[in-house]
């Protein structure tokens, strides 16, 4: 199986400088997909920072109206920053109950740099899939040459 032809990859949030503000991703339309995984790439994170990545859903293509809800199947990940430099936070939602999904990364107490947030929509109904325009190149190989 070729993973890249069975999922859709999208950069949903650009890099963010050191701060304690929330990073909210763009909204994904889940029509044709059975799940989505959000991956937040962390940079330099100040000790005692608290990071929480939460997946949220909405019935409209919006992060605000109507009020989005945290998907019941998700768990927010919270990490102490002592071990968060150059690491990732992930949250995976299988069979979301709402059509539109996005993620929220909260950075509390101390500064944290974000390298970006990537979304992988998976279990596509129609294959092969096409990646978002935020993916500038993709390649597939059939084995390893010696």
Supply the CATH number for residue 33's domain. Answer: 2.60.120.1110
- Residue 48 is assigned to a structural domain of this protein: yes
Against a cut of 0.85, is the pTM above it?
yes
Q: Is the pLDDT of residue 81 over 60?
A: no
What is the domain count for the chain?
1
Using one digit for the tens of pLDDT, what is the confidence trace for 136-146? 888 877 776 66
Q: Is residue 134 part of a domain?
A: no
The verdict on residue 72 lying in a domain is: yes
| DSSP reduced 3-state for 3 | helix
- What is the rounded distance in angstroms from the CA atom of residue 110 to the CA atom of residue 35? 32
């Amino acid at each position: 199986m070729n993973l890249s032809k069975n999922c859709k990859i999208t950069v949903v949030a650009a890099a963010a400088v050191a701060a304690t503000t929330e990073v909210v991703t763009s909204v994904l339309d889940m029509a044709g997909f059975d799940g989505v995984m959000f991956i937040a790439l962390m940079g330099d994170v100040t000790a005692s920072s608290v990071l929480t990545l939460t997946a949220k859903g909405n019935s409209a293509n919006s992060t605000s109206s109507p009020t989005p809800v945290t998907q019941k199947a998700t768990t927010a990940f919270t990490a102490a920053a002592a071990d968060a430099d150059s690491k990732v936070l992930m949250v995976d939602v299988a069979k979301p109950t709402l059509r539109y999904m996005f993620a929220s990364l909260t950075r509390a107490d101390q500064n944290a740099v974000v390298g970006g947030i990537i979304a992988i929509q998976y279990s596509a109904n129609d294959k092969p899939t096409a990646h978002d325009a935020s993916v500038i190149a993709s390649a597939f190989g059939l084995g390893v040459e010696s």
